[in-house]
């Protein structure tokens, strides 16, 4: 008959402490992973909103450079293109201002500048907004060119 050595109480308590420390280390690792995932999702949403605002501002700027009836009507009446929302329900507000840039000896209407400002509520900070400013210039052909 083989004799088994008995574990004493101090060895059993040591394994409980090992398990407790291992569980704590695992919990800290999982907490860090959760925080990293949360920060990554917030950054992804912020970038998505910035891409949406940038696309809208670029569309307005391109429309401003084309003399079609629809585009002229967009910029004829006011300096506020209004509010719109994306698929996640975030409200974007668009404002624009067009200015003429005069140079010495030329017609002031030949060179113009457009600034489109898009603002939306920030997802990171409460009661704050984010803003995108898009600037573009256009030059008209002078009358003496005959075109």
Confidence bin at 83 (pLDDT 50/70/90): confident
The full set of domain ranges for the chain reads: 12-145
In order of 12, 17, 20, 36, the CA distances from 26 in angstroms are 21, 14, 10, 15
The mean pLDDT value for 62-85 works out to: 75
Bigger pLDDT: 105 vs 130: 130
Whether this prediction's pTM lies above 0.75 is answered by: no
3-state helix, strand, coil in the chain (%, to 5): 50, 25, 25
Does residue 111 contact residue 99 with C-beta atoms inside 8 Å? Answer: no
């Amino acid at each position: 008959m083989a004799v088994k050595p008995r574990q004493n109480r101090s060895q059993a308590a040591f394994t409980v402490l090992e398990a407790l420390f291992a569980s704590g280390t695992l919990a800290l690792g999982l907490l860090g992973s959760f925080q990293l995932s949360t920060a990554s999702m917030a950054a992804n949403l912020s970038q998505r909103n910035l891409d949406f605002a940038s696309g809208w501002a670029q569309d307005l700027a391109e429309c401003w450079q084309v003399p079609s009836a629809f585009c002229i009507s967009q910029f004829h009446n006011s300096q506020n293109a209004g509010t719109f929302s994306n698929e996640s329900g975030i409200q974007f507000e668009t404002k624009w201002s067009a200015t003429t840039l005069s140079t010495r000896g030329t017609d002031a209407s030949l060179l113009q500048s457009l600034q489109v400002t898009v603002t939306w509520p920030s997802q990171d900070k409460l009661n704050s907004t984010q803003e995108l400013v898009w600037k573009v210039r256009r030059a008209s052909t002078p009358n003496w060119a005959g075109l």
